[in-house]
Structure 1
Amino acid sequence: MRLTVLGCSGSVNGPGAACSGYLLQADGHEPVLIDCGHGVFGELLQHADPNRVAVLLSHLHADHCMDMPAMLVWRRWAPEKATERSLLYGPAGTALRIGAGASEYPGQVDDISDTYDVREWVDRTAVDIHGLHIEPFKVDHPPSTFGLRITGPDGEVFAYSGDTGVCDEVVELARDCDLFLCEASWTHEPDARPMGLHLSGTEAGQVAARASARSLALTHIVPWSDADAILDEASAAYPGPLQLVHQGQVIEVRPPL
């Protein structure tokens, strides 16, 4: 599998920095887009045809889903517009949330069923999309949020935390994975973070260590956090290969030799 980081800024975007969006592709298959926060759609256009991408939303906070209305416009009105619906998976209420964001009239909801086949995650109920086996895990973050464990055609395993606090479920979804893409929104200092809403660098490292993840990639760092301090915290808690992801980065996900 190949992971392309379209955006990785936490909570809000910034100059040249899109929010959460990750393109995952198995060789010989069309890609899936994991989350579509502010600024992600423009980055997607550099890497894939929006008409051929399935979308997987971890949850419905704006920084993870609110570039979907832009993709909806493209798929409906661009010269090479979509000729068939694409899969869109997300938590309960996904069609309503995206439809409300796409509507031009306050208080109304755009019916997106002409463009997307919208389906809802069911905890621990796997689906197969574009050569990938995808298992959603409900994690600890408001509103309803799902981390994803994704197995590729050669048995390689990619795990994505979504947004989460510390919980057994995020450890389980990352168990023995080849790459764990884990949020680490801020440092572990008590005055730097609300408790339980997101992971600190220390907590991300601890989760990866508990899960025996083979490698750890940190994402969703909020712009006002100290990224180097978060990386140092994680490295003190996790002994394996570790990195901060950056926009435009491509990471190969391979099974162990």
Structure 2
Amino acid sequence: MRIVVLGGLGAWPSAEQGCAGFLVEHGGFRLLIDPGYATLQPLLTRLPAAAVDAVYVSHGHPDHCADLQPLLRARALADRPAPALPVYAPTGSLDALLAIDDPGLVDAAYRPHGFTPGDAFDVGPFAVRTWSLPHWLPNAGARFTAGGTVLAYTGDTGPDPTLVELARDADLLIAEATYVDEVPDEQVGFLSSAAEVGRYAGAARTRAVLLTHLWPGTDPAAAVAATRQAYAGPVAVARSGVVVDLPG
């Protein structure tokens, strides 16, 4: 399983990179996870829009899904339109995004698969199990299992006991870490810190951690150090262009 980081910031993109977004490849199947702001361009440096096989969206905030819309345009308006793209997202979470275009323009470009966080289903070679995690909008953290390899992904979430179950023995945990040590009072319960990620990753015996959704301007080294207070395994920060190869 190969994970290509398309961006690693939360809220808005910087001049250097986009928001959280990941291309996950296994057995020739290409799954795009959370195509947030400014993730389409780095995706297109690696493969054409028509080569994406499916999309998974954790929740409807635009820093996790906005670039789905231009991806669909690129597929629908090409000289040879691509087949309908399967899009998996919590039911109703993409309605506002998909309504911004001319009526009918991209309708044939995608095939929606709405689900309720907590559901399990297959996407190509991936067995997907989802969890409902606390955020302002319905958010579905997920485990993607293929060939005996497990990728765990939180989307955006506040602290929750089920995060340990989500991350249990995963080969890689991609975890939202908007803040370094403390989450501001007005966001407590809805977002996480790198220090919190370290605590549940350690309890879950996750084999490696990739921190994502850092607030723009956050010192990556400080986020890594905070995670390592409670987690002894490998820790890195998601940056556009980073490639992680997992066995299996």
**TM-score range normalised by the length of the shorter chain:** over 0.9
Runs ≥4 residues deviating over 3 A = 109-113, 189-193
Instruction: Answer yes or no: is the 8 Å Cα contact 1:21–1:35 preserved in 2.
Output: yes
1:220 aligns with 2:220: no
Alignment of 1:120-131 (within 5 A): 120-131=114-125
Cα–Cα, structure 1 residues 112 and 171, in superposed 2: closer, same or farther, change >3 Å?
Answer: farther
Instruction: Answer yes or no: is the 8 Å Cα contact 2:207–2:233 preserved in 1.
Output: yes
Instruction: Answer yes or no: is the 8 Å Cα contact 1:94–1:118 preserved in 2.
Output: no
Instruction: Answer yes or no: is the 8 Å Cα contact 1:186–1:192 preserved in 2.
Output: no
Q: Which residue of 1 aligns with 2:223?
A: 230
SS at match of 1:240: coil
Cα RMSD (Å): 1.8
Q: Which residue of 2 aligns with 1:56?
A: 56
CA distance in 2, matches of 1:114, 1:191: 42
Alignment: residue pair count: 247
Cα–Cα, structure 1 residues 191 and 92, in superposed 2: closer, same or farther, change >3 Å?
Answer: closer
Instruction: Answer yes or no: is the 8 Å Cα contact 2:42–2:240 preserved in 1.
Output: no
Q: Which residue of 2 aligns with 1:150?
A: 144
Q: Which residue of 1 aligns with 2:42?
A: 43
Q: Which residue of 1 aligns with 2:89?
A: 90
TM-score by length of 2: 0.93
Deviations 1:172-205 (A, max 9, x none): 1111111111111112246597312211111010
Instruction: Answer yes or no: is the 8 Å Cα contact 1:121–1:136 preserved in 2.
Output: no
How far off is 1:130 after superposition? 2.3
Deviations 1:88-124 (A, max 9, x none): 00012145223223x25xxxx6574311110112333
1:173 aligns with 2:172: no
Cα–Cα, structure 1 residues 207 and 193, in superposed 2: closer, same or farther, change >3 Å?
Answer: farther
1:118 aligns with 2:99: no
Instruction: Answer yes or no: is the 8 Å Cα contact 2:90–2:117 preserved in 1.
Output: no
Deviations 1:51-90 (A, max 9, x none): 23210000000100111111121111123421x2110000
SS at match of 2:232: coil
Q: Which runs of 5+ in 2 are unaligned?
A: none
1:100 aligns with 2:128: no
Q: Which runs of 5+ in 1 are unaligned?
A: none
Cα–Cα, structure 1 residues 8 and 80, in superposed 2: closer, same or farther, change >3 Å?
Answer: farther
TM-score by length of 1: 0.90
1:184 aligns with 2:177: yes
Cα–Cα, structure 1 residues 95 and 196, in superposed 2: closer, same or farther, change >3 Å?
Answer: closer
Letter of the 1:121 counterpart = F
How far off is 1:213 after superposition? 0.6
Instruction: Answer yes or no: is the 8 Å Cα contact 1:5–1:22 preserved in 2.
Output: yes
Instruction: Report the structure, 1 or 2, having the larger strand content.
Output: 2
SS at match of 2:19: coil
